[in-house]
Amino acid sequence: MSSFIGAIDQGTTSTRFLIFDEKGNLITWHQLEFEQHYPRPGWIEHDPQELLDVVTKCADEALRKFGMMGRDPNDIKAIGITNQRETALVWDRETGEPLYNAIVWGDTRTNNLVKRFKAKQIDVQSICGLPIHNYFSAVKWYWLMHKVKEVKEAVDNKHALFGTVDSWLIWNLTERVHVTDVTNASRTMLMNLKTREWDKKLMEFFEIPEHVLPKIVSSSEHYGDVKDGPLQGFPVMGCLGDQQAAFVGQRCFSVGEAKNTYGTGAFLLLNVGPEPVLSKNGLLTTVAYQLGNEKPVYALEGSISVAGGAVTWLKNNFGIIKHSHDVDTLASKVQDTGGVVFVTAFSGLFAPYWRDDARGTLVGLTQYTNKCHIARAALEAACYSTRAILDSMKEDGNVELKVLKADGGMSNSDICMQTQANILGISVERPAMRETTALGAALVAGYAAGIWKSVEEIRNLQVEDATIFKPKLDEKERNSLFYMWEEAIQRSMGWTDVLHDDDDD
């Protein structure tokens, strides 16, 4: 009899439930978008209850499709979860009600808080692998405790529970199990990278009591069974932050293997092995995965705040395309950007620059410029940002990459992938089955359920052929284009100082 694994993929703009077989093949899925809330400039929130509701609806519909295919839902042996990372939630442990909306990873309301924490001059990154930045969960929780009366009271009364999206989902799906996996915990600025436990020094620094935090567990073990709804009775056995899930889904199990996920943002992870490597070049150190009681695997990560998000911006804010996939058609009508560079720093610059004072910038506009050039520049922005990260990774990891594995919605663009190969000077490999994030969650859940017995067995799963994009520019051309990007980056910095950006501190 065949065995199947379900995967909840809770992303920044949509949620999916997918079902894979024991060979890693995608059988069926269902996807729903949910509302983005922008109460003030730079603020991004999600309704926690809606996040939970769309998971239930997607699972219900995917299981219906599965049954229509003549399959038996009882053959689904485990459920894995993958989620948007760093997004911070708080809820009441007694009532289960959210005490505030989820503050999304790209939210910038804590800019001034970050400046204050940086001024205290404690070396946070040496402990948790992350710089002090508004991207990560700890400063969002600090803001909630000091700005939302209900949260402060709940914390004081020991009724509050803090968590990232994985914790919220697991707590609600199971019998109130309050856990987070080690990959998500490593994105909070509160976890000690070496011990993989909440660090007392960091908790004191960010004034977050340990009683509100979930228990840190591995990425692959039995967390609990789903208590009700369409998934009732299924064991939840895998959990990974979305970028780590794509890393596992691309099977980057050897030191030196790397993947880049081109989603709303873009996230490049490089396998550095069983010991953390602290970056000296603006990268993050993170846990890539941990299978049960086995040693964890660490990664260097470069995070780009806006990649596919720029395409969504062109669609929703400028209206120059009706659907996201139209950007490729528009960009293909020109051979280059006509000298235009689009620095998509809508929420500041992430790796390797880490400048929260930067803002989105279009450089090089002339009367010749049209919407096709801007569309192409939006695609190219992610490629240049990836080059900057990869250059830093080579220095930190002392690893010469031969190929970059690509996935995520923006990787569907042939123009984007070919440009990426051109700018990097190495091949870019795009799998035929693009759902690598959900596959990663399914793989760690299946491992815990005993469907696969070893990493080698997972590595050897047969998958469809990949498309290989090989570079077509010489080194001089590549470096000339990248120099133009670096000059544009400089022009984007310091803009919030000019605006006197007054965020809520």
CA distances (Å), origin 458, targets 80, 288, 351, 463: 15, 16, 31, 11
Residue 197 has pLDDT above 90, yes or no: yes
CA distances (Å), origin 353, targets 4, 106, 486: 42, 16, 11
Q: What is the share, in percent, of the chain residues with pLDDT greater than 90?
A: 74
**What is the tens place of the pLDDT at every residue in 28-47?**
999 999 999 999 988 999 99
Q: Answer for the pair 59, 8: CB distance below 8 angstroms, yes or no.
A: yes
For residue 205, what are its two tokens? 């620094």
pLDDT at position 397 is: 65
How many alpha carbons lie under 13 Å from residue 474 in its C-beta half-sphere?
1
Q: Answer for the pair 207, 321: CB distance below 8 angstroms, yes or no.
A: no
Q: Answer for the pair 241, 188: CB distance below 8 angstroms, yes or no.
A: no
304-430+466-495 has the same fold as 4-250+432-459: yes
pLDDT at position 501 is: 53
pLDDT at position 41 is: 86
pLDDT (mean) for 292-299: 94
Q: Where exactly are the structural domains of the chain?
A: 4-250+432-459, 304-430+466-495
Residue 329 has pLDDT above 60, yes or no: yes
pLDDT (mean) for 248-273: 89
pLDDT at position 1 is: 66
pLDDT (mean) for 294-305: 91
Quick one: angle between helices 48-68 and 165-173, nearest 10? 60
Which of these, 124, 85, 120, lies nearest to 261 by C-alpha position? 85
Report residue 152: phi and psi, to 5°: -60, -45
pLDDT at position 393 is: 85
Residue 196 has pLDDT above 90, yes or no: yes
Which of these, 307, 347, 305, lies nearest to 501 by C-alpha position? 347
**What is the tens place of the pLDDT at every residue in 136-175?**
999 999 999 999 999 999 999 999 999 999 999 999 999 9
pLDDT at position 279 is: 85
Query: What's the chain's average pLDDT?
Result: 92
Residue with the larger pLDDT of the pair 503 and 225: 225
pLDDT at position 257 is: 86
pLDDT at position 201 is: 96
- CATH code that applies to domain 304-430+466-495: 3.30.420.40
pLDDT at position 498 is: 80
**What is the tens place of the pLDDT at every residue in 392-444?**
888 886 677 778 999 888 998 999 999 999 999 999 999 888 788 999 999 99
Other Cβ atoms less than 10 A from the Cβ of 338: the count is 17
pLDDT (mean) for 330-347: 93
Other Cβ atoms less than 10 A from the Cβ of 37: the count is 14
Rounded Cα–Cα distance for residues 486 and 392 (Å): 14
Q: Answer for the pair 190, 199: CB distance below 8 angstroms, yes or no.
A: yes
Residue 462 has pLDDT above 90, yes or no: no
CA 313 to chain centre: 19
Residue 87 has pLDDT above 80, yes or no: yes
Rounded Cα–Cα distance for residues 264 and 200 (Å): 33
CA distances (Å), origin 75, targets 20, 234, 468: 11, 10, 35
Q: Rounded to the nearest 5 degrees, what angle is found at the Cα of 228, between the Cα atoms of 227 and 232?
A: 80
Enter the DSSP assignment of 496: H
Q: Rounded to the nearest 5 degrees, what angle is found at the Cα of 364, between the Cα atoms of 362 and 369?
A: 90
For residue 275, what are its two tokens? 């010991």
Question: pLDDT class for 505, splitting at 50, 70, 90?
Answer: low
Q: DSSP letter string over 379-425?
A: HHHHHHHHHHHHHHHHHHH----SEEEEESGGGG-HHHHHHHHHHHT
pLDDT at position 72 is: 92
pLDDT at position 286 is: 94
Topology of 4-250+432-459 in CATH?
Nucleotidyltransferase; domain 5 (3.30.420)
For residue 83, what are its two tokens? 């989620």
pLDDT (mean) for 199-210: 96
Q: Answer for the pair 83, 238: CB distance below 8 angstroms, yes or no.
A: no
Rounded Cα–Cα distance for residues 443 and 27 (Å): 14
pLDDT at position 474 is: 93
What are the start-end ranges of the E strands in 305-385? Answer: 341-343, 361-363
pLDDT at position 504 is: 54
Question: pLDDT class for 356, splitting at 50, 70, 90?
Answer: confident
Rounded Cα–Cα distance for residues 233 and 221 (Å): 16
